[in-house]
């Protein structure tokens, strides 16, 4: 009986190792650096450079486009990234909210442009 119990415990532990390894890999996601970013919109794709600095789950940085540079703030939990940027639109602030899933040196997700529209976006980390 003890031998059967020991075998069952060992099987459970062996089955749990891949799950634990996946969770550990997610926890080690680091987005720090510059990313070539493509924003998809009804007007067509827009190329920007997004630069992140990660400190634990806190993310800060900038997003630079032909219209200028805007600071960003957000969080990353596992491989789920969320951040916002604020832009000036004729004296009023508009908030663009981004969400994404990070997979290695790539990420993709959606953005919401101050409730006025949304789209998909993707990025690849610069070497």
pLDDT for position 89:
82
Phi, psi of 7, rounded to the nearest 5 degrees:
-65, -45
Q: pLDDT truncated to tens, each residue of the chain (127 aa)?
A: 556 544 545 545 555 555 544 554 445 899 999 999 999 988 899 999 999 999 999 999 999 998 899 999 999 999 999 999 998 888 889 999 999 999 999 999 999 998 888 999 999 999 9
Q: Yes or no: say if 83 and 72 are a contact pair by the CB < 8 Å rule.
A: yes
> Can you give the pLDDT at residue 67?
82
Look up the CATH number of domain 31-125: 2.40.128.120
pLDDT at 1: 57
pTM: 0.76
Q: What is the DSSP string of 44-103?
A: --EEEEEEEEEETTEEEEEEEETTEEEEEEEEEETTEEEEEEEEEETTEEEEEEEEEEEE
């Amino acid at each position: 009986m003890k031998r059967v119990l020991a075998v069952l415990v060992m099987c459970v532990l062996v089955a749990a190792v891949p799950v634990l390894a996946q969770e550990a890999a997610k926890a080690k996601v680091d987005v720090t650096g510059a990313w070539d970013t493509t924003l998809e919109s009804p007007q067509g794709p827009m190329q920007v450079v997004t630069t992140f600095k990660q400190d634990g789950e806190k993310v800060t940085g900038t997003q630079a486009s032909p219209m200028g540079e805007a600071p960003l703030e957000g969080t990353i939990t596992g491989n789920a990234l969320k951040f916002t940027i604020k832009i000036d639109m004729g004296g009023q602030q508009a908030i663009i909210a981004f969400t994404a899933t990070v997979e290695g040196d790539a990420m993709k997700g959606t953005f919401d442009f101050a409730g006025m529209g949304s789209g998909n976006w993707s990025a690849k980390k610069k070497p």
